[in-house]
Amino acid sequence: MTEEENVTQTPEQAPAPDLGKFQSVDALMRAYRELEAEFTRRSQRLRALEASAPHDEASAPHDADAEEGAAQGADSEALLRAVRGNEEVRSRIVGEYLAALPGVPLMAGTGAGVTAPAARASTLKQAGAMALGYLKHQKHGG
């Protein structure tokens, strides 16, 4: 091939870049923008936490995972305070927990305890025996 033929020949198309799991450059750009927005939100949250935290640099965590854990801990504390202030939510959580336990629950969903049926004497002899048992029970500190 002469030099003139090289110049007049159409250049080959450049190979398409490897976009990994993305189907197109537009999808890659959209994912990048979403990631950038999330990074901005986390940076703002971190700045707010740093501003509200004591300024003791020796005790401040420098690990990103520890900082995120602190943010989640703050969210958990706020949620715990909200639940403690709402009796209906608290009762529902306890009820669902008790329902999930294996075996026979000791409390119903309303909080009423399980009671034994009342014992009734049908004769004077049974009544005397019940009274004597009651008095003996009281005497022994029961």
pTM value > 0.75: no
SS3 17: coil
Q: Which amino acid is at 6?
A: N
Say yes or no to pLDDT of 125 above 90: yes
SS3 113: strand
The average confidence (pLDDT) of the chain is: 76
Average pLDDT over residues 82-101: 79
Say yes or no to pLDDT of 139 above 60: yes
Say yes or no to pLDDT of 103 above 80: no
Say yes or no to pLDDT of 124 above 90: yes
SS3 107: strand
CA distances from 103 to 78, 106, 128 (A): 33, 9, 38
Q: Looking at residue 58, what is its pLDDT?
A: 54
